[in-house]
Structure 1
């Protein structure tokens, strides 16, 4: 049998004391981590719910309201206060700006006051076509005379499916 322990009694007692101290340290660390974990769980359970609506406040003595956000919007600044649904609707109706990220005006049913209307499908198609046209014409990759390939009578391909051609067109 493999025995790597010392043969004398003094050194065995020393090892026993040493390992007892280590077990106490390990037990203390386990207890501390268990306490911390239960405190975190208690904190998560007892955390108040975020407000439904908040208003971002300006700088200065009066701190005027700047923008209305939903309660969980991460775009809201550090200076804000909670407001109820009626006050948020009133502030939007009086001309205060709605956050363009969380869109509280849409959630509150005040779509006609939106400063950033959602694009329609037709607008998006028109926008994409316009962007492609600008890329080709400004970069000089396309000329009206090159619409039809020489002798074939077929329109030229504006975009190819290869990644290198697309990236060279856009650069």
Structure 2
């Protein structure tokens, strides 16, 4: 009887647990070297845009939908600003692309059950924005190209607001019901 109960509990926990795969942090050289910074910033923005588009499709929570809409708008702007700054720095970056880790995060959001989606989305947003904030603040203070340092300095407070909003939702708002 105890074995049956234990097996049932393990099964129940394993079926309700949802993995959370945050996108990987940028490489260390992105914190100081122009081209790695541009590629990492673009990849981060692209993840935020794509994950938030999925949130608009899957979430029924008004606060999550509003947050996702904000991320799409802001991260499109930061991508544009970074690309302009890269051109001023005489760089010719390719359009941003997701790496395998970010692709895995996106795939996890796409396959998430409706009941788990909001929690998973916010659980990915927090480490993604922590990594992006570290990237932008590091490059802003020690990057090798002045136009990109200026762009990174402008992006950092935007990313910080996104991080604060995600943490607030996780700690007391909409995602605790999930």
TM range (shorter): under 0.3
Which structure features the higher share of strand residues? Answer: 1
Which structure features the higher share of helix residues? Answer: 2
TM-score by length of 2: 0.23
Choose between structure 1 and 2 for higher RCO, CA contacts under 8 A separated by at least 6 residues.
2
TM-score by length of 1: 0.24
